[in-house]
Amino acid sequence: MSVLDDIVAGVREDLAAREATVPAADLRALLAEAPAPRDPMPHFRRSGSSVIAEVKRRSPSKGELADIPDPASLAQEYAAGGAAAISVLTEQRRFGGSLDDLRAVRAAVDVPLLRKDFIVTGYQLLEARAAGADLALLIVAALDDDELRRLHAEARSLGLTVLVEVHDEAETERAVALGAELIGVNARNLKTLEVDPDAFTRLAPLVPDDRVLVAESGISGPTDVKRYVAEGARVVLVGEALVKDGAPREAVAAMTGVEA
> pLDDT by residue for the chain (260 residues), tens digit each?
899 999 999 999 999 999 999 999 999 999 988 899 999 999 999 999 999 999 988 877 776 777 788 999 999 999 999 999 999 999 999 999 999 999 999 999 999 999 999 999 999 999 999 999 999 999 999 999 999 999 999 999 999 999 999 999 999 999 999 999 999 999 988 888 888 889 999 999 999 999 999 999 889 999 999 999 999 999 999 988 887 768 999 999 999 999 98
Tell me, yes or no, if 217 is annotated catalytic.
yes
Q: Determine the Cα–Cα distance for residues 158 and 126; give it in Å rounded to an integer.
A: 8
pLDDT value of residue 245: 67
Q: Please confirm, yes or no, whether 189 is among the known catalytic residues.
A: no
Q: Percent helix, strand and coil across the chain, each rounded to 5?
A: 45, 20, 40
Which entry of 77, 91, 216, 240 is annotated as an active-site residue? 216
Residue 159 Rama label (left phi>0; alpha psi -120 to 50; beta) = left
- Annotated catalytic, 54? yes
| 252, 82 Cβ separation under 8 angstroms | yes
Amino acid at position 28, single letter: R
Which of 3.30.465.10, 3.30.930.10, 3.20.20.70, 3.40.50.720 would CATH assign to domain 3-255?
A: 3.20.20.70
Please report, for residues 42, 143, 145, 172, the alpha-carbon distance to residue 176 in angstroms, rounded to integers and kept in the order given: 20, 15, 12, 6
The bridge status of strand 113-116 relative to strand 135-139 is parallel
pLDDT attached to residue 193: 85
Q: Which position among 116, 154, 171, 189 bears the catalytic label?
A: 116
Catalytic residue among 91, 186, 189, 240: 186
pTM of the model: 0.96
